[in-house]
Structure 1
Amino acid sequence: MTTTPAAFEAARRRARASAMRLASRAARPTAAGLALVLTLAACSSGDQGETGTEADASPSGTVTLVTHDSFALSDGLLAAFEEESGLTVETVAAGDAGTLVNQLVLTKDAPLGDVVYGIDNTFASRAIDAGVLQPYTPEGWADRDVPEQLGDGALTPVDLGDVCVNADTAWFESNGLALPVTLEDLAKPEYKDLLVVENPATSSPGLAFLLATIGAFGEDGFEEYWTSLAGNGVKVVDSWEDAYYVDFSGAEGGTRPLVLSYATSPAFTVTEDGSATTTTALLDTCFRQVEYAGVLAGTDDEAGAQALVDFLLSADVQADVPGSMYMYPADNSIELPAEWTQFAPLAPAPFTVDPADVSANRDEWIDRWTAATIG
């Protein structure tokens, strides 16, 4: 059975759009609830300092996983891990990747949990430099076909994916216009007023695309490129949902046939017979995102935290990543869904920016982008 655009909307909102989590998952705090968690953590830290006994207490059998809002696994996976390990897993969703890292830094002396999942390569250096993680390398890691760890073992990759411009192929065919291929093509007159992208100040894919242009044109050239896009009628919106489901002609009837989305998106716009997809990702416009897990410094249950990281790298979880979180598994040996193999290949040569450079320059780059694109 093929997945319709409407089903893709529900799935993407559930799994990749952090502000629009619609799936019911237990014990996810609201913003007020997270504030309470932070307050209690701070109070707990003070109590420990006074008594000197809390930190030495025996582990409760509960490990807390702090995540971004898009964490999801198929029903039964966590329960199976809990039964096998004897541990209980609680999750705390702290916002998008940037908010997640900010909260970890703010609560460094009284950590929110034992393990973190969802730090990506655009925020990794900040977390490592702040000392919120402690190194852990899963057994047999060196023998697996996976991306490198960061921070001498502080962050272990769990999944990856490409943020790319997507095109409504039917629109281009009906209008007799060739698909653009490169970033430079998007600024050509024939593609005027056709592209919608997300704001890097408010959107994770928007930031990834900004980094793609920095990777392509350099720190001294990306502003000129964005000025040319602005002159060519690029539309900037705050969220992926607005871009894809309001403005993109390949989804819900928008008018723009080019949208910033994911390389995996075309796997969810296949035709009824499953033989083709109505959209395509422009693989020469992509930025590679990698999402990591790590043991939080100060965990009260180091062994349990390490077991949970091992679980996230297990074959069962890695095989579940495409269907639950719409990313590629970090383990390259995992068999992918047929639709992904056919319609959602990764970019052969995505643009990259060193995570340390991102950490040092992110805010400045966004300010410069804003001046060049929005004014």
Structure 2
Amino acid sequence: MNIMRAFTISAVVALGAAACSTATTTDETTSASPTTTASPMPTKVTVVTHDSFAVPDDVLAAFEAGSGLDVTFVAPGDAGTLVNQLVLTKDAPLGDVVYGVDNTFASRAIEAGVFADYTSDARAATDAAAYAIEGSQALTAIDFSDVCLNIDLAAFGGDLPAPRTFDNLLDPAYSGMVSVTNPATSSPGLAFLMATIAAKGDAWPEYWSALNDNGLRVTASWSDTYYTDFSAPNYGGDYPIVLSYASSPPFEAVDGQPTTAALLDTCFRQVEYAGVLAGAQNPQGAQQVVDWMLSDDFQASVPENMYVYPVSTAVTVPAEWAQYAPLAADPWTIDPTTIDAKRDEWIQTWTDTVLN
């Protein structure tokens, strides 16, 4: 439920007084001097995000009540689709502010001029600075996690041990068990591709060819892979090895017992950002949204609603995450500059190798 508080802006009498914008009027029946009137600040702000975004109603309502803003969300698709749409619509932006651009796609959007620079003064901005894109003030880190393969624990044990590494997945024993997402349309999919490139170097296409030959399934989005394909008890699909996050397993516990686990040797560290859109109708409101996403209320809501870690060190994650959702000790990484230079080539090579 949205709660909106109307802003009231007083008339500005002196021509030299500061205001966002002014309109001049003259009383034609007298010789009175012209007066100026301040234009009201807009109260509507549109947040463009991916389709996995979630925030509790009470957290949103408190922000709207405190700021006087009326927040609308637009979700054109997965994070990869989100960035594609941002670039295509940069001259007529879909909204005012964006959440969900990650470090595998961020440089593309920045290079395309999608964002306006903004540096938040929120307390958690200092923590967010640790994940800043070098040489840019366009994006503010909001959360992070490790993208990795997750397994359905019930499918393994006895004669078939759980896989641990990329190479294990090529064993015929795991044929037809793996579901991942397309890196051209999904940020987790692209993050997983980056992990295999970091692990296999120039031999990564051969690795994917072998994985494909071992019965690989590819979907368009993380939600398709996880919620539809995963054979874990909460979903009942046909694939016991799926692409998700290191922070996913706590949410799959049944009667206090884990039913899934992340393969921490397959992880890529993913960071998600928010940014003010260039050409926003309400840039001030957009900046307030970025500040809100760094607030304690929003940051504390991130783990249980989006299954990722908040950037703020002032909030705590659920206690069970230490046991069921540890981050990878040594996740795979690639420099964002290299990703920017090679992304399109890598995606095309992957498409030619896996889908054609």
1:216 aligns with 2:199: yes
Aligned to 2:312: 331
Aligned to 1:367: 348
Per-residue CA deviation, residues 76-99 of structure 1 (Å, 9 max, x unaligned), is 222211222223223222322233
1:114 aligns with 2:96: yes
CA distance in structure 2 between the aligned counterparts of 1:214 and 1:85, rounded to whole angstroms = 44
Q: Is there any run of 5+ residues in structure 2 with no aligned partner, and where?
A: 3-37
- Does the CA-based 8 Å contact 2:152-2:240 persist in structure 1? yes
* CA deviation after TM superposition for structure 1 residue 300, in Å: 4.5
- Does the CA-based 8 Å contact 2:104-2:187 persist in structure 1? no
SS in 1 for 2:189: helix
1:102 aligns with 2:84: yes
CA distance in structure 2 between the aligned counterparts of 1:132 and 1:247, rounded to whole angstroms = 34
- Does the CA-based 8 Å contact 2:95-2:277 persist in structure 1? yes
Of structures 1 and 2, the larger Rg is shown by: 2
Aligned to 2:142: 158
The alignment-based identity, stated in percent, is 57
CA distance in structure 2 between the aligned counterparts of 1:303 and 1:246, rounded to whole angstroms = 40
Distance 1:364 1:320, change over 3 A: same
Aligned to 2:161: 178
Distance 1:57 1:116, change over 3 A: farther
CA distance in structure 2 between the aligned counterparts of 1:165 and 1:236, rounded to whole angstroms = 13
* CA deviation after TM superposition for structure 1 residue 198, in Å: 2.6
Which of 58, 69, 82 is matched with 2:64 structurally?
Answer: 82
* CA deviation after TM superposition for structure 1 residue 366, in Å: 2.2
CA distance in structure 2 between the aligned counterparts of 1:255 and 1:114, rounded to whole angstroms = 40
Aligned to 2:254: 271
Task: Please report the RMSD computed on the Cα atoms of aligned residues, expressed in angstroms.
Answer: 2.6
CA distance in structure 1 between the aligned counterparts of 2:179 and 2:81, rounded to whole angstroms = 25
1:187 aligns with 2:170: yes
Per-residue CA deviation, residues 104-135 of structure 1 (Å, 9 max, x unaligned), is 33333333332211111121111111222122
Moved more, 307-316 or 72-81: 72-81
Aligned to 2:276: 295
Distance 1:127 1:244, change over 3 A: closer
Per-residue CA deviation, residues 269-320 of structure 1 (Å, 9 max, x unaligned), is 2131x1x302110011012221111122233444332222111100100000
SS in 1 for 2:287: helix
SS in 2 for 1:284: helix
> Where do 1:1-375 residues align within 5 Å?
58-139=40-121, 140=123, 143-144=126-127, 147-150=130-133, 151-173=135-157, 175-218=158-201, 220-245=202-227, 247-251=229-233, 252-272=235-255, 274=256, 276-375=257-356
CA distance in structure 1 between the aligned counterparts of 2:70 and 2:228, rounded to whole angstroms = 41
* CA deviation after TM superposition for structure 1 residue 335, in Å: 0.8
Letter in structure 2 aligned against 1:340: W
Aligned to 1:47: none
Aligned to 1:8: none
SS in 2 for 1:334: coil
CA distance in structure 2 between the aligned counterparts of 1:145 and 1:107, rounded to whole angstroms = 27
CA distance in structure 2 between the aligned counterparts of 1:127 and 1:154, rounded to whole angstroms = 10
CA distance in structure 2 between the aligned counterparts of 1:215 and 1:266, rounded to whole angstroms = 25
SS in 1 for 2:82: helix
Q: Is there any run of 5+ residues in structure 1 with no aligned partner, and where?
A: 1-24, 27-55
* CA deviation after TM superposition for structure 1 residue 246, in Å: 5.0
| TM-score, normalised with respect to structure 1 | 0.76
CA distance in structure 2 between the aligned counterparts of 1:105 and 1:236, rounded to whole angstroms = 25
Aligned residues: 318
- Does the CA-based 8 Å contact 1:145-1:333 persist in structure 2? no
Higher helix share: 1
